[in-house]
Structure 1
Amino acid sequence: MNKAAVIAVIVIVAAVAASAALLLHHPRQHAAPRRTTPLIYPPGIPAGVIAGARPGVSVSVEGLKTGGEIPRVYTCDSRAYKPPTITWRLEGSAKIESWLIVVDDPDAPGGVFYHLLVYNIPPDTRHWPGPGELGLNTARRPGWFPVCPPPGSPPHHYYFIVIGLDKKLDVPRGASPYQVFRAAEGHAVVFGYTYGVYKR
């Protein structure tokens, strides 16, 4: 084999080796997985509670545009604060036996802060305040705890979540979030939410 042939063989071997190295370092260029759009679940709700449920509830809060600033009247900056007026609409059909409302702040420094927990809301109800049983908020009080992020902190996000369940929850009056979520696991049919932000 003459010198030119030897050089040609070396060049071919080097090219093959370089191609193999590229395949090893970039395998997804040749076998990219199909992209799917995941369901967007509201933060602060344990995954087991709404696993398998579908988005199908349109939620609105009086005075709040989705992603906008929480009205002052729902916060601790108001001397006459009040609970938010929450309304919802079921999109499509679903067999609902009770509704669950949760309002939470996943940005709270100590972990998720639950501002409101209402369960066993009758299935034909579409607004709150109204019928239903009040659970404990994170401050261990029944009912609404006003929006009140620490002064000077970045804006906190507040989620107003409505979940349709296929049963009434067998929990005592004044149940904790843990008790309610545990009883609701595997029973969510549909859910929806809106959210707002607030800074002090």
Structure 2
Amino acid sequence: MCDLRKSFLLALVLTLFGATSMQAKESQLKLVSSAFKQAGQIPSLYSCDGSDTSPPLAIDGIPKDAKSLALVMDDPDAPGGTWVHWVLWNIAPSTSQITQGTVPRGAQQGVNSWRRKSYGGPCPPSGQHRYYFRLYALSERLNLPSNSTRKELDLAMRGKVLAQAELLGVYAHH
């Protein structure tokens, strides 16, 4: 009985240690923008009121074992449900910057809710909406057709996410 109790305690300690290590690893991945702060106002330049160009993004803390990155921008406040503004995958794990208005070399761009393979900036029908940029570090490159949607990307990423980061911006028409 004593051996069983020791085995259980050891398993519990290892589980807790493993969970703590994983949480620390996930919290290292960071996504920021020089255009707006976390939970800050996205400048109109990056919206349908401006030039509708993607904002500059900076990436840090990519896990060493990541084979690719994926990025999604969406609006959960859209009247008909979450509206997907941008879908990217197979971004090289060496990428530390995504320059304004560009797609990293070699990355694939999927289909957004406008059915376009491009960035579509904030364009809320009314009020202020939240826009989430979600970055995922993946254990492998994804083999997806170029016309894939966010839903297909989510399915392909299952079990492959090593870490993730989130940047939130808000926008309302002026």
* Same fold? TM cut 0.5: yes
In structure 2, C-alpha distance between the alignment counterparts of 1:105 and 1:127, rounded to whole Å:
23
- Give the superposed CA RMSD: 1.5
TM-score by length of 1: 0.68
- Length, aligned pairs only: 144
Structure 1 residue matching 2:155: 3-state secondary structure: helix
Query: How far 1:122 sits from its partner (Å)?
Result: 1.1
The sequence identity of aligned pairs, in percent, is 29
Instruction: Give yes or no for the alignment of 1:144 onto 2:119.
Output: yes
What residue in structure 2 maps to residue 70 of structure 1? 42
Instruction: Show structure 2 runs of 5+ residues with no match.
Output: 1-24
TM (norm. structure 2) is 0.78
Secondary structure of the 1:59 match is strand
- The equivalent of 2:132 in structure 1 is 159
Contact 2:34 2:56 in 1 (8 A): yes
Question: Is residue 87 of structure 1 aligned with residue 58 of structure 2?
Answer: yes
Structure 1 CA distance, aligned partners of 2:110 and 2:27? 24
Structure 1 unmatched runs, 5+: 1-52
1:62 shift after superposition? 2.8
Letter in 2 for 1:56: Q
Aligned to 2:109: 134
Q: Could you tell me how far apart the structure 2 residues matched to 1:127 and 1:169 are?
A: 21
* Secondary structure at 2:165 match in 1: strand
Superposed CA deviations along residues 155-177 of structure 1, whole A, max 9, x for unmatched, are: 11111111100011111113111
- Measured after TM superposition, the shift of residue 178 of structure 1 is 1.4
Distance (Å, rounded) in 2 between the aligned partners of 1:137 and 1:144: 8
How much has 1:67 moved relative to structure 2?
Answer: 1.1
Larger Cα-atom Rg: 1
SS of equivalent to 1:55: helix
Q: 1:133: Cα distance to partner?
A: 0.5
User: Which letter maps to 1:140?
Assistant: R
| Equivalent in the alignment of 2:83 | 113
List per-residue Cα deviations over 1:107-166 (Å, max 9, x = no partner). 111111111110011111122232210011111100101210013x2x111111111000
Q: Distance in 2 between matches of 1:103 and 1:63?
A: 15
Query: How far is 1:76 from its partner?
Result: 0.8
Deviations 1:71-107 (A, max 9, x none): 11011111x231111111016x441000000111111
Structure 1 CA distance, aligned partners of 2:110 and 2:82?
16
Asked whether the 8 Å contact 1:57–1:193 carries over to 2, the reply is: no
Q: How does 1:1-200 map to 2 (within 5 A)?
A: 54-78=26-50, 80-90=51-61, 93-128=63-98, 129=102, 130-131=104-105, 132-151=107-126, 153=127, 155-200=128-173
User: Hey, what's the Cα distance between the residues in 2 that align with 1:71 and 1:96?
Assistant: 31
Distance across 1 between alignment mates of 2:42 and 2:92:
27
What letter matches 1:88 in structure 2? I
